[in-house]
Amino acid sequence: MTFEEYVGSRGPALVRLARLLTGDEHRAEDLTQEVLARAYVQWRKIARADRPDVYVRRMLVNANISWWRRRSNRELATDNFADRPHRGDLGGEAADRDEMWRLVLDLPDRQRAVLVLRYYEDLDDATIAQILDCSPVTVRTHAMRALANLRERCGAPTANGSRP
């Protein structure tokens, strides 16, 4: 498969993954473009790999993590949310999803990456482990901790049925 064919078939999925990892449509496009530019230079090596998509996804996850490590890219997060709309409002469900995404974006990078790759990219633990360069057990641990963190912050019942 040529680089052009790969980008034509997988480009939109890579942008979607980047958008879910970053939470920002514009930064996701920039991140995807940066990763594809680096992948183009190494395409012969990447194409010879068993699963080039895993390699490029790993590049995308790593580039996102590296972006956050740069001092010039720090953003100030706030805990103040607008009042929650009442059920029945047209934007009520959208506001709930937006609030949940804010919580997901506050997770540590690896936990967020595991949730995005598992629930939005619909990948199995072994593939996620390849992308993140860790074991499948570590993937499950990150998922468990991320979901527990989200449940705690949302006030959802825990595994034993009690509320925090």
pLDDT in tens, 53-64: 999 999 999 998
pLDDT score of 77 more than 60: no
Class of domain 1-75: mainly alpha
Output 118 or 162, whichever has higher pLDDT.
118
All CATH 1.10.10.10 domain ranges of the chain, comma separated, are 94-156
**pLDDT, mean over the chain:** 83
Work out the widest C-alpha separation in the chain, in whole angstroms.
54
Residue 82 has pLDDT above 70, yes or no: no
Provide the pLDDT confidence category of residue 10 given band limits of 50, 70 and 90: very high
Question: Domain 94-156 is of which CATH architecture?
Answer: Orthogonal Bundle (1.10)
pLDDT band at 18 (very low <50, low <70, confident <90, very high): very high
Is 138 a residue whose pLDDT tops 90?
yes
- Is the model more confident about 100 or about 162? 100
Rounded CA separation 54/136 (Å): 15
Q: Which of 144, 140, 156 is nearest to 99 (CA)?
A: 156
62-79 average pLDDT score:
64
Please name the residues in contact with 135: beta carbons below 8 A apart, sequence gap of 6 or more.
129
Domain with CATH 1.10.1740 in the chain: 1-75
